[in-house]
Structures are given as structure tokens and as C-alpha cells.
A and B are shown apart, each in its own frame.
Chain A
């Protein structure tokens, strides 16, 4: 139960940081839109089933949407990365879920290179889909490209900073326990 509350707290905190900090500070440039909240989906435990992952991602996205008054936008992007996530993990670390020694994706659980690639691919997908949906209703092609790539860069920077600043305590899993 304490694990559930830890994740709930992390989710609430990330949504609050996204809505009241990252969306409020003046952006460096109008194309550089930082977003961090979706890292919640990336840091969910390996052991979650795929439908649960999709539903949690949808709830996360829609809660951000209600604050930013854009219902459906972030939810769609979150559901997409939640759908791709298991396939990517299998691709990067071909082993059974039972064999993971750490509960959730991190540098220690996956090694540097696969973890960085994992973050890069999902962050890019999230931004690509998000700006694509915005571009459908308004905007030029160049602002779409700029927002996707610059947003991915600044978000990756934020995720790595968060990873270094707040090390997630993870117990090593053994068979004896």
C-alpha cells in the first residue's frame, strides 16, 4: 500500500510542477516548451500490466489537460508512450519481467546507454505526437518541427536533472526475499 501512495504522491507532484512551475515561468523561446510530467509514465514499475499502464497514463494526461484547459491533448500523447513503452523495454533489455532486479526503469536497472535511449525515444514520441495534434488545428510546419526537437531537448535535460537531483531509492530484488 505504501508503494501505491508513493506513486500517487509522485504523480500529484509532477502534475503540480508541470502546471504551476513549468507552464508559468516565461519560456526561453516560444518554441522551447519544457514538459516533465510524462516522466511519471516512464518511471512506472516494470511489473505493471499493459492495460493498467494505458489507463494510468490516460488519467495522468487528462489531469494535466484539465489544468491547462486542453482536454484530450496530453492524454493522447501519454497513452501513446504508455503503449510503446513495453515494446521498447523488451527491445532494449530482452529478458523476462521476473528477471528484473530493480522495480522500475533507472540508470542502475538498465545501464546508461539503454536508459538514455529509452528516455530519448519516448520523450521524442511524446513531443512529436503532442505538437502534431496542436499542428493539426493551427500553426506552421517549421514551428511544429522546432517545437518537437527543442521541446525534446529541454525535456530530456529536465529529466536527467531530476534523475540526478532526486535519486529514487530502489531495493535490489533477490530470490531469497
Chain B
């Protein structure tokens, strides 16, 4: 036993080195796999407040582009006003107003504004930080839309006053997407190569496509509201070995100057997710398998 202690004392620097390496690796592994490391929320409160100060200065230089986006969104909202119609569709009107009655809830999505205080596009795994957290109603898995309504990412970690999102420019990001023209659905991914090229996978060769076609969020998505702009097809080729197109998509949101965003809550998400889980459990669990 004494020799063991002597050995450790003799090589204490090396053991400290090993220990610190293991701690680093543990941080790295636990953060990337679960996005949940406990210590991170407190650290996020500190770096978040510094990032917010920096962002106040940076915002100033992007006001023009931001104004344009807000103006475009206002424009599209004006078109939805019930006063535009000769005959007011009551059903439609109630849905937009978010009216509820005693038996069921008509509203599905709630939008909350937030400001991006940190964002990167240089890495293969890009995250952004928002200045709203669990105290302001942000929760994990909520979708994030840009000021003009195009998709930006998904919230993965929440602390009391800040939250962190996984950008579309993240190699583990998967978003259900649909083609506006034909309605075919696929998955939008990123290979980490270039921030202006996302990949749309799972569109069969039979579908007729052209460069410039619009890609929207699908109604199959649990967190993104349907019909939000994801991007436009920028290049098109066919994979000879499979039955699918190789589609590159230019993202609609400009990730280089994200500033004001909306965090979207799907009020029925818990119900949808648990239904999905229950259904899988009932069908795929060998104990429940019917003879």
C-alpha cells in the first residue's frame, strides 16, 4: 500500500494530467450526447450575461436588415386580418384569436419573442443562445423561428434566464420538411460542410423538382408549426445507387445575422409525444405482441 502512495506521489503531475483529461472528455461526451449537463446551466447564466452585453453593441450594426425582416413579417400578417374578407369566417377567426371554450382548446401554437445573444456558424455543431429561459416560459424542444418566420433551430437546454438552441447548422439536427409544390416530405439535415447548403433527404426520384422550389416545415413535425419557410432548392442531382434525389437547400434564415427570433410552443406537443411513445410501446414491445 505504501508503495502505491509513493508511486502516485512520484507521478502526481501525470495523474493530474490524466484526471483533467478525463474530466474534459466527460464534459465533452455528456454535453454532446444529452445536452443536459447540470453544471452548464449555472455557467450559462454567467456567460449569457456577458454575451448579452456584447450583443447590444453588435445588434446596432444589423438594424437595417432586421427592420426589413420585421417589415416583411408585418406585411404577411396584414394579409391575415379578418377585415380583408368580405364575409368573416367565424371558425377561422376564432382559431386566430386563440379563443377557448370549456370543452377544448382551439389554439395550438404560442409565439414568444427572444433575442439571440450568441450564435456561431463556423463549427460543425453550431448552437445559439437566447436571452429568455424557463422563467419566461421557454422549455426544451420548442422551435425557433427567425424574425421573418423562417426556421432557425430547436431549443435544447434551458436555464432560468437563458436558453440554448441547436441551430439548423448542426450535424445532429433533423427537421421534417415538405416541398411546397408537390407536398412530398423528407428530412432536412446538414453535413457540416458549408453554412449555405443544407441537404434534403428522402425525396424519391419520381418527384418533379426544379431549382428554386420552396421547402417548408412539414405538418408531421412535433415542434415546428407547419408551412414555415426552411429554404429553397439550390442544386439538384440524382443518386445513381438509390432511388432518391440529392437536393441541396439554401436556408431561408441568414444565420450570419440572427437577432430577433420567435420561440414557438406547440401546446399539444406533450400529448403528441406521449401518444407516439404509447403507440410504439404497444406495437413493438414483444410482451404485447398479439399471437
Contacts and interface: CB of A to CB of B under 8 A. Distances in A.
B124 A50 contact: no
A69 B127 contact: yes
Contact of A139 (B13, B26, B124): B124
A169 interface: no
Most chain B CB inside 10 Å of its own CB: which residue of A30, A50, A61, A80 = A30
Contacts of A69: 118, 120, 127, 129, 164
A61 B123 contact: no
Most chain A CB inside 10 Å of its own CB: which residue of B32, B40, B127 = B32
Contacts of A54: 13, 16-17, 20
A67 B46 CA distance: 10
A168 interface: no
Contacts of A26: 256
A138 B171 contact: yes
Nearest to A33: B122
Nearest to B47: A66
Nearest to B28: A72
Contacts of A72: 23-29, 31
A139 B122 CA distance: 13
A30 B194 contact: yes
Interface of A: 20, 23, 26-27, 30, 33, 50-51, 54-55, 58, 61-62, 65-73, 75-76, 79-80, 83, 133-134, 137-139
Given A23-B120, A71-B28, 10 more contacts: A27-B122, A68-B123, A69-B120, A71-B27, A71-B40, A72-B27, A76-B24, A79-B21, A83-B13, A83-B14
Contacts, number: 89
A81 to B, nearest CB: 11
B56 to A, nearest CB: 13
A26 to B, nearest CB: 8
8 contacts: A30-B122, A30-B193, A51-B13, A71-B27, A71-B43, A134-B123, A137-B32, A138-B171
A50 B27 CA distance: 23
A60 B256 CA distance: 27
Given A71-B40, A76-B25, A138 B192 contact: yes
A51 B122 contact: no
Contacts of B164: 69
A23 B20 contact: no
Most chain A CB inside 10 Å of its own CB: which residue of B21, B24, B37, B256 = B24
A83 B129 contact: no
A71 B13 contact: no
A77 B13 CA distance: 16
A143 to B, nearest CB: 8
Contacts of B26: 72
B39 to A, nearest CB: 8
Given A76-B24, A134-B124, A137-B125, A66 B43 contact: yes
A71 B14 CA distance: 22
B12 interface: yes
B28 A76 contact: yes
A51 B28 contact: no
Nearest to B29: A72
